[in-house]
Amino acid sequence: MTTEIKISNVSRGFNGHTVLKDVALTVRPGELLALLGPSGSGKTTLLRLIAGLDAPDAGRITIGEDDATSRHPGERGVGFVFQHYALFRHMSVFENIAFPLRIRKSPKPFIQTKVAELLKLIQLEALAQRYPAQLSGGQRQRVALARALASQPRVLLLDEPFGALDAVVRRELRRWLRRLHEEMQITTIFVTHDQEEAFDLADRVVIMKDGGICQEGSPIDIYQHPASPFVHEFLGESNHIPVLLRGGFVRGSDGWELGQAELPDGAASLFIRPHHVVPVPAAWGSWRVARVSATGAQAHLTLTRGAMSLAAAMTADALLESGLQAGTAAEIRFTGGTIFAESRSGPIRLGQGLSLAARA
């Protein structure tokens, strides 16, 4: 029993300010979908429109077979988990989870078993009589989830579900939610501004910006083929080098040839992820290692050459092996990158042997 959500040409503005513009999106039955974007991109508004907490100015929202556009939120069969949990502070954990059942006047024995079941699911059986104020953030989040599940929703909507939690709890809860989703197969949408979270958890990621959808696809797909400079930069650190295209050749601002791309002539931007920048120690190299830092298994380097600065990343082991350290002279190779021209964009594979410095 899984449900499809269809959003057709939905727009929404507040006080003359457009927050969502003509958004169209289909969420497949049983899918775990992430709405990813910076704050102000309209992702939470979209989620609230699906839940019925807000009404679109134009467009249609279909949940399963029903046109839900003007349905009361309580009749849409959605479970909504709020960023700050929104637990009823005057009710115990048990009563919070029982709330949707009491509202529906379910028989008492049924409520007892159902809530016990959900408490077991969220592993908080021992804390049934506690009040929300007596729980940790992670526990509250799980109670909020159990409460949303108690009304047996067709669709689960989560607004920044892990936003207010610390890193360790966040990772733990993420795994737990992923397992839960695999068991229950409820169509789920969650909103986040954390790309790692979106990529780790979701089957499919929808990237939003300025009230529209920039790109949607599987995490790997989006990472490998970002559709715009915005997506590329949003998905993690990258080096941005302004380049010129002429006759299919990509050149740096002072004439270095960087590679070839089948793109029209003109100005363009080259984006290179730090792990695609490979520094090699070389006495004659024109680059200097300005800074080295290691966070566990990963090492980060900053390389400079005149006014230019590039970020590089490699495993800590590779760093040790290479013998690079602050002050070392080096050459650079690029092992990948994406070039965005004004009119058309596409990834280019940069030649393995190509180095920026060699063409100086």
Partner 1 sequence: MANRVLLITVALVFMVVFLVLPLISVFAQALSAGLGAYASSIADPNVQSAIWMTLTIAAIAVPANLVFGVCASWCIGRFKFPGRNLLITLIDLPFSISPVIAGLLEVLLFGLNGLLGGWLSAHNIQIIFALPGMVLATIFVTLPFVAREVIPLVQEQGNEEEEAAVTLGASGWQIFWRVCLPKIRWALLYGVLLCNARAMGEFGAVSVVSGKVFGQTDTLPLAVESLYGSYEIQAAFAAASLLAMLALVTLVLKAALEWWHRDELHGAKRKKAT
Q: 73, 163, 347, 351: which one contacts partner 1 (CB under 8 A)? A: 73
Nearest approach in angstroms of CB 136 to partner 1 is 5
Contact call for residue 173 and partner 1 (CB under 8 A): no
Part of the chain binding partner 1 (CB under 8 A), chosen from 19-27, 87-95, 166-174, 282-290:
87-95
Nearer residue to partner 1 within complex by CB, 99 or 271: 99
Q: 109 in helix, strand or coil? A: helix
**Cα 36 to Cα 353: distance, rounded to the nearest angstrom:** 36
Retrieve residue 151's tokens. 């009304």
Part of the chain binding partner 1 (CB under 8 A), chosen from 27-35, 127-135, 230-238, 239-247:
127-135
Q: 243 in helix, strand or coil? A: strand
Backbone φ, ψ for residue 133 (5° rounding)? -65, -15
- Which residues lie across from 206 on neighbouring strands? 35, 216
Nearest approach in angstroms of CB 143 to partner 1 is 11
Nearest approach in angstroms of CB 151 to partner 1 is 6
**Interface with partner 1 in residues 135-164 (CB under 8 A):** 135-136, 139, 144, 147-148, 150-151
HEC letters along 17-69? EEEEEEEEEEECCCCEEEEECCCCCCHHHHHHHHHCCCCCCEEEEEECCEECC
Q: 4, 11, 64, 86: which one contacts partner 1 (CB under 8 A)? A: 86
Part of the chain binding partner 1 (CB under 8 A), chosen from 25-33, 84-92, 203-211, 307-315:
84-92
Angle at 75 between CA 21 and CA 142, to 5 degrees: 85
Contact call for residue 114 and partner 1 (CB under 8 A): no
Contact call for residue 133 and partner 1 (CB under 8 A): yes
Q: 37, 42, 132, 337: which one contacts partner 1 (CB under 8 A)? A: 132
**Cα 146 to Cα 142: distance, rounded to the nearest angstrom:** 6
Cβ atoms of residues 273 and 236 within 8 Å: yes
Q: 127, 143, 268, 319: which one contacts partner 1 (CB under 8 A)? A: 127
**Cα 119 to Cα 355: distance, rounded to the nearest angstrom:** 59
Nearer residue to partner 1 within complex by CB, 52 or 219: 52
Contact call for residue 108 and partner 1 (CB under 8 A): no
Contact call for residue 82 and partner 1 (CB under 8 A): yes
Closest CA to 302 of 326, 319, 329: 326
Q: 9, 24, 74, 237: which one contacts partner 1 (CB under 8 A)? A: 74
**Cα 266 to Cα 214: distance, rounded to the nearest angstrom:** 24
Contact call for residue 90 and partner 1 (CB under 8 A): yes
